A and B are shown apart, each in its own frame.
Chain A
């Protein structure tokens, strides 16, 4: 089973700053099967990035994803007030067929 480890656990930034969130896999992951989600308090998660680097419908272009193999990154070029939330990476494994999430990175206002 692949384990996803996200870092940092908490990221404290001011609006306008650049955010870099990391997701490291215990084994190589196909880029096609790596996604990022945003979750705000009391809300369901929202798909941001799929296939490691493709933005989901309606996601602003300040959000970008990159990486391959075991190291993936979500970047927010300039953090907006509405971006403060928890972010999760997720991968799909074909053998066994299951989905795993990272433990999350909380982006908080500094």
Chain B
């Protein structure tokens, strides 16, 4: 069974940093593109970033480019999102997702990031 478990969320002040993790199991992690998708409270979904199987390609939504970094450790079956210079508008539930072609076939349960003073 595919499982994706996010961790690392919490309350952080504006301008601060946070590192999210996603532990994957039940599939060959190193064979799939992986993504982060977020959802602000009461709002819709927003794709944040993608990373290729070997980490050689990474893509970001414009609003986080230069502030967030996606990475992975295939030996640990883990996906990460390093978030720097956080803003109030980054407040959201962050989901780890396994890509299925051009779509998101499996999702974790999410971890809440709150940016507030």
Contacts and interface: CB of A to CB of B under 8 A. Distances in A.
Interface of A: 32-33, 35, 37, 39, 43-47, 50, 56, 88, 90, 92, 96-104
Given A45-B45, A101-B47, 10 more contacts: A32-B102, A33-B102, A35-B104, A37-B45, A37-B104, A45-B107, A47-B105, A90-B45, A92-B102, A104-B45
A92 B37 CA distance: 14
Interface of B: 35, 37, 44-47, 50, 59, 61, 95, 100-105, 107-110
Given A35-B103, A50-B101, A88 B45 contact: yes
Contacts of B44: 88, 101-104
Contacts, number: 55
Nearest to A99: B47
Contact of B103 (A43, A47, A96, A104): A47
Contact of B59 (A44, A98, A101): A98
17 contacts: A32-B102, A35-B104, A44-B107, A44-B108, A44-B109, A45-B45, A45-B104, A47-B103, A50-B103, A90-B103, A92-B102, A92-B103, A97-B50, A98-B47, A99-B35, A99-B104, A103-B44
B61 A101 contact: no
Contacts of B50: 97
Contacts of A88: 44-45
A1 to B, nearest CB: 9
Contacts of B104: 35, 37, 45, 47, 90, 99
Residue among B61, B102, B105, B108 with most chain A CB within 10 A: B102
Contact of A101 (B45, B100, B101, B110): B45
B25 to A, nearest CB: 16
B98 to A, nearest CB: 10
A88 B105 CA distance: 14
Interface centre among A32, A45, A46, A100 (most CB of B within 10 A): A45
Nearest to A35: B103
A44 B22 CA distance: 14
